[in-house]
Amino acid sequence: MAFPALFHFPRYSFVRIPFLSGILRPMANLTIDPGLKLKCPRIALGFLTARVATRETPPGLLEELKVRETEILHLPEPRALLESPKILATRAGYKALGKDPARYRGSAEALLRRIVSGKGFPQINAVVDIINLISVESRLPIGLYDLDHVKGDIVFRAGRAGETYKGIGKYDLNLEGLPVFSDEEGPHGSPTSDSERTMVTSATQSIAAILVSFGGAEGLESSCQRMSSHLQKYAEGQNIQFQIRW
C-alpha cells in the first residue's frame, strides 16, 4: 500500500501514516553534520517516530523471523549477502571516517553474520525484533531509541576524541571517528551499537528508529513503510510518522 507524502522539501521528505488517528509530534529534530556529509556525501537517514507497546514478541512475528532466517540459510551462497551493495557502502563510510569496518561493523552486517552462522535472530521484544527484521531485509543499520530518554535535538556526526559510552550488553565503545547520534547530553547511538542510556525497555512508550544508508536514499521510504506496518501489526504502533533526511 502506498502512502502519500504530505510535504516535500529540498533536503527531506515527511510522511504521516494516514490511517492512524492523531499525530505524534517529533520529540527531537534530526540533522546531519556538514563535516560528516563532506566525508560521506551519499549519507541518508530514515527517521521514524511512533508510540508503541513494548511487549513480548508475538507468534506471528516469530514466524516471520524464522522464515527470513530459513530463506537466508537456503541461499546457494548465504555469505554473499555480506558483500551486498548496502553492506559495502556502510563499510566504505566507516573507512572514510577513519574507522576500521572489520573491527567496528554496522549492525546490519553483524546481524547477517549471526544468521549466516546459524545463530538466528536474537529475541528481545516485539519492537526490537521488528527493527532487527527490517535491518536484515534492508541491509541497513537501524538505531532504536526511547524518545523519553533523548534530550533535545539529534545530530548525526563523527565521534570526537575521548567520547565513549557503554553499548547495550557491551563494553565501553571508543567513539572517535565512529558515526554517532548525539543529543544535548552527548552521543547515545551509532550504526554499530546503541547506548544503554536511550535503549528501548519494557517501559518504553515512544520510540525513534533511524535507518542509516551510506549509499543514498533509495529504498529508505519503502523500509520505513514496512517498519510502520509491522509496528502497527505487532506492537500496537500509533501516530507513526517518518522523514527521509539527506
Angle at 148 (CA atoms; ends 62, 4), nearest 5 degrees: 65
Give yes or no for residue 33 having a pLDDT over 90. Answer: yes
Domain boundaries, given as residue ranges, for the chain: 11-245
Q: Could you tell me the pLDDT band of residue 171, with boundaries at 50, 70 and 90?
A: confident
Q: Could you tell me the pLDDT band of residue 169, with boundaries at 50, 70 and 90?
A: confident
- List, for residues 94-146, the tens digit of each pLDDT value: 999 999 999 999 999 999 999 999 999 999 999 999 999 999 999 999 999 99
Distances (CA, A) of 221 to 10, 38, 40, 227: 16, 23, 20, 10
Give yes or no for residue 6 having a pLDDT over 90. Answer: no
- Which three cell numbers, joined as nine digits, stand for 155? 545530530
Distance (Å, whole) CA 123 – CA 167: 18
Q: Determine the pLDDT at residue 138.
A: 98
**What average pLDDT does the chain have?**
90
The domain 11-245 is placed in CATH, from the list 3.50.40.10, 3.40.630.10, 3.30.360.10, 3.30.1600.10, at 3.50.40.10
Question: What is the model's pTM?
Answer: 0.89
Q: Determine the pLDDT at residue 13.
A: 44
Q: Determine the pLDDT at residue 170.
A: 72
Mean of pLDDT values over 211-219: 97
Mean of pLDDT values over 158-175: 91
Distance (Å, whole) CA 166 – CA 123: 21
Q: Could you tell me the pLDDT band of residue 164, with boundaries at 50, 70 and 90?
A: very high
Mean of pLDDT values over 30-51: 98
Q: Could you tell me the pLDDT band of residue 154, with boundaries at 50, 70 and 90?
A: very high
Distance (Å, whole) CA 77 – CA 231: 31
Q: Determine the pLDDT at residue 184.
A: 96
Q: Determine the pLDDT at residue 108.
A: 98
For 131-166, what is the HEC assignment? HHHHHHHHCCCEEEEEHHHCCCCEEEEECCCCCEEE
Give yes or no for residue 12 having a pLDDT over 70. Answer: no
Distances (CA, A) of 214 to 9, 38, 67, 193, 233: 21, 12, 28, 17, 29
